[in-house]
Amino acid sequence: MPTDKTAPTEITGAKKSRAATLTRKTADRAPAKAVSAKARSKSSLKADLAPERIAAILKILAKAYPHAKCALQHHSAWELLVATILSAQCTDARVNIVTPSLFRKFPTPADFAAAALPEIEAEVRSTGFFRNKAKSISGAAKLLLSAFHGEVPRKMEDLLTLPGVARKTANVVLGVAYKEAVGVVVDTHVLRLSRRLGLTRNTAPEKVEQDLMKTIPQDHWIAFSHEMIHHGRENCIARKPRCADCPLEPLCNSPDKTWSTH
């Protein structure tokens, strides 16, 4: 989930076909309008953050992605923590390929703590930045054993003491494994969509999270992140968002829009 790489730009046959379908749909529905500066000028922070607009966005997202959940496979808070560390600059799909054999080889934090770094590195090499990731996982396992009775802590401040863990990873673990809405997961998708939807004007993930925590009701924080990540992967993609197929389009004034009804 987490900070995924932008999807490969290579156009596969399936993508070509989807693009062709979209082009047909777009042509059928209405001509594209220029949306850049004009659209942005319509947008004001106050209007963007109006409670009724936020409620409408949340309702549309919930309807569009009723089963949205964390895509990282895991069986415990520890496995989720490791998977989330590995997901930095890597796709969840790649992490899900790596983790089954990783957790077979090192079933517990104690096994990771006892392993030599090269052993862990060899297992996680294909996720990229493997030396740093192996070091973080090994360090986190050792700290769990020495300071937290071998358990992944349930408090944000404790999680942030673990190597390789910043707020995004901590929020994933707290929200998904412990169902604790302490913050909002801000990965590359949440950040991009939040800006496109006018929910923040910031670019630093920590500031975007603070903005979202002020705007989104706390009981939506966990689901909101999952839904935004799904929407970012499936629809509001980085390079050419599929605005003609987007249920949020009537509420979106992003200059990045590729199609607009308003």
Closer of 179 and 239 to ligand SF4 (Cβ) = 239
Select which of 168, 211, 256, 257 is catalytic.
Answer: 168
Whose CA is closest to 142, among 180, 114, 184, 174? Answer: 114
Binds ligand SF4 by CB under 6 A, chosen from 133, 196, 220, 230: 196
Q: Please tell me whether residue 249 binds ligand SF4 under the rule CB under 6 A.
A: yes
- Catalytic annotation on 187? yes
Residue with tokens 């077979």: 104
DSSP code for 176: I
Q: Please tell me whether residue 241 binds ligand SF4 under the rule CB under 6 A.
A: yes
Q: Contact, 98 vs 123, CB < 8 A?
A: yes
Q: Please tell me whether residue 188 binds ligand SF4 under the rule CB under 6 A.
A: no
Say how many residues touch ligand SF4, by CB under 6 A. Answer: 14
What is the H or E stretch that residue 41 is in?
A: helix 36-42
Q: Please tell me whether residue 200 binds ligand SF4 under the rule CB under 6 A.
A: no
Binds ligand SF4 by CB under 6 A, chosen from 32, 36, 236, 238: 236
Angle at 156 between CA 108 and CA 214, to 5 degrees: 140
What is the H or E stretch that residue 109 is in?
A: helix 109-114
Enumerate binding residues for ligand SF4 (CB under 6 A): 196-197, 235-236, 241-243, 246, 248-249, 252, 254, 256-257
